[in-house]
Homo-oligomer: A and B are copies of this chain.
């Protein structure tokens, strides 16, 4: 096991009727900005419930954070907060709204051009406004981590930053708030969480017994739960488990002390930035091809994955690895998510374009060994056609 530090100060408030606890969680004298995505929180009553819980506090709203939150939109929130001297942020939404809120929280006190927060991956962040979240869409884990991914529309750039200053102070996870989600978003959430786990698990053996068993347990849970959550959309316990799985998938725990990959995300981000494909769908395209192309360096963990997650024990090493990769793609397809570039009407020109963007963004030595060059990315994207 590698040396590591683990520190996750976010308080989770989980379950039904928990939004009312905002009154204890947000300081009584806070000047609050609620940050929102589309119209769903307003339409389904969640926003009204939040405003009731905040009582007599001064509250303003900022609407319109996109599914891939943009620098351009978020800077409008930064200006509003500075102008109105607001001092507490409350994200109400999914991972995009929370990611966007993290950027806003760090950008408000930042001296200089806030885009530097992204280009330095957060190294320049020394302070942030305090914030909490009310999660309405289980997928990204942003509700309990200190990472954020922001898109700059003008340059088709999608970059990530991390900082110890942008952990949510609290996150309210009320599974009933996810019952009205469209099937597409639930399916995306399952696949997003699945790939988050794989990025931290399917690398090379590092003797992290807890990390491996926890990762495998989360994958087994998603495989068991995925089809059921689509088939029975009103089941509270299924939604509750999906919500808690997605949080645990990316709160730092399963990745502490073990190697991490994240190349599927890096390649996927370029697909979203160029072609506006849902984040989870880009992961479903890239992951199976990525595992196939890098099967040699991932050999031992692929065999462990085949056995412990998919119960595959028969056949040669290569046959078991093939079967595990096929099962992975089948699972994504069973969730209604296509796994080939052609399914999204993309061809060889997309392969060239994504490779060019990876080079432009300096993503030329990624993956757990730093050996995923643009040439390997080309092989992966070619295999994903």
Interface string of A1-44 (1 = CB under 8 A from B): 11111111111111111100000000000000000000000000
The answer to whether A244 touches B1 (Cβ under 8 A) is yes
Contact residues in B for A113 (Cβ distance below 8 Å): none
**What is the interface of chain A, defined by CB distance below 8 A to chain B?**
1-18, 207-210, 213-214, 216-218, 220-221, 224-225, 237, 240-241, 244-245, 248, 253, 256-257
The answer to whether A5 touches B12 (Cβ under 8 A) is yes
Please report the C-alpha to C-alpha distance between residue A3 and residue B236 in the assembled complex, in whole angstroms.
12
Instruction: Please name 26 pairs of A and B residues whose Cβ atoms are closer than 8 Å in the assembled complex, sorted by A.
Output: A1-B15, A1-B241, A2-B15, A4-B15, A5-B12, A5-B13, A5-B14, A7-B9, A7-B11, A7-B12, A8-B8, A9-B9, A12-B256, A207-B241, A209-B224, A209-B244, A209-B245, A210-B218, A210-B221, A210-B248, A213-B214, A213-B217, A213-B218, A213-B220, A213-B221, A253-B253
The answer to whether A5 touches B11 (Cβ under 8 A) is yes
Please report the C-alpha to C-alpha distance between residue A11 and residue B7 in the assembled complex, in whole angstroms.
4
Copy total for this chain: 2
Q: How far is the CB of A173 from chain B (nearest CB, A)?
A: 10
Contact residues in B for A225 (Cβ distance below 8 Å): 209
Contact residues in B for A244 (Cβ distance below 8 Å): 1, 208-210, 257
Please report the C-alpha to C-alpha distance between residue A248 and residue B208 in the assembled complex, in whole angstroms.
13
Among A4, A7, A209, A248, chain B packs the most CB atoms within 10 A around the CB of A209
Contact residues in B for A218 (Cβ distance below 8 Å): 210, 213
Contact residues in B for A224 (Cβ distance below 8 Å): 209
Please report the C-alpha to C-alpha distance between residue A14 and residue B4 in the assembled complex, in whole angstroms.
5
The answer to whether A245 touches B15 (Cβ under 8 A) is no
Q: How far is the CB of A240 from chain B (nearest CB, A)?
A: 5
Please report the C-alpha to C-alpha distance between residue A12 and residue B17 in the assembled complex, in whole angstroms.
32
Contact residues in B for A17 (Cβ distance below 8 Å): 3
Please report the C-alpha to C-alpha distance between residue A237 and residue B216 in the assembled complex, in whole angstroms.
20
The answer to whether B3 touches A11 (Cβ under 8 A) is no
The answer to whether A14 touches B3 (Cβ under 8 A) is yes
